[in-house]
Amino acid sequence: MAHSHSNEHDLMDLRAKLRGKDRRITKPREEILELLGKEDHPISAKIIHEKLEGSCNLVTAYRSLKMLESMNLVKRFDFGDNTARFELICCNDKAHHHHLICNDCRTVVEIEECFDPKMESRIAQKHGFRNVTHQLEFFGLCSSCQTA
């Protein structure tokens, strides 16, 4: 998705959202948001904890991510390896997107393309569901891994 690495302006926005919900702006939370703002692809709680080296406990990372997710500041992705990964939902980025993951080296490519939204509403209507969303990820062999 070629994230235009979130800037100060974005983080201000996020802080405002937090304030408006009786939530506190803590050092760990600021650091998580700042780190996520710099990342190009979803990262796990463990990676966040490692990169934040000392300034954010692993448990705090899990708790913060869950909270940020519930506030729609962060999106959770599942690459099928029992490890949740998270991306910042930036105002200037397209929030909804997908990924292409190499089955071998685990390289991640951001995918902006998506199918016609009519398919989703058709499915929702047909089965009487509301608020239907989807999770879509592509898997394959990247060019490096094809040769090896």
Partner DNA sequence: TAATTAATGCAAAAGACTTGCATTTAAAGC
Partner DNA sequence: GCTTTAAATGCAAGTCTTTTGCATTAATTA
Interface residues with DNA (CB under 7 A) are: 18-19, 22-29, 44-46, 55-60, 62-64, 66-67, 82-84
CA distance 49 to 115: 35
Tokens matching residue 60:
């705090």
Q: Tell me how far, at minimum, the Cβ of 104 lies from Zn ion, in Å.
A: 4
Verify binding: residue 124, Zn ion, rule CB under 5 A.
no
Number of chain positions touching Zn ion (CB under 5 A): 6
The structure tokens listed for 113 are: 């393309």
Q: Which residues lie below 8 Å from residue 84, measured CB to CB, with a gap of 6+?
A: 44, 45, 65, 76, 77, 78
**Residue 70 binds which one of Zn ion, Mn ion, DNA, none, with CB within 5 to 8 A depending on kind?**
none
By beta-carbon proximity to Zn ion, the closer residue of 82 and 131 is 131
What is the contact mask toward Zn ion in residues 86 to 115, using x (rule: CB under 5 A)? ----------------x-xx-x--------
* Least separation in angstroms between CB 12 and DNA: 13
Measured from the Cβ of residue 135, the count of other Cβ atoms closer than 10 Å reads 8
Cβ atoms 68, 32 nearer than 8 A: yes
Q: Which of 70, 10, 76 lies closest to 42 in space, CA to CA?
A: 76
- Contact residues toward Mn ion (CB under 5 A) are 1, 87, 110
Which residues contact Zn ion by CB under 5 A? 102, 104-105, 107, 142, 145
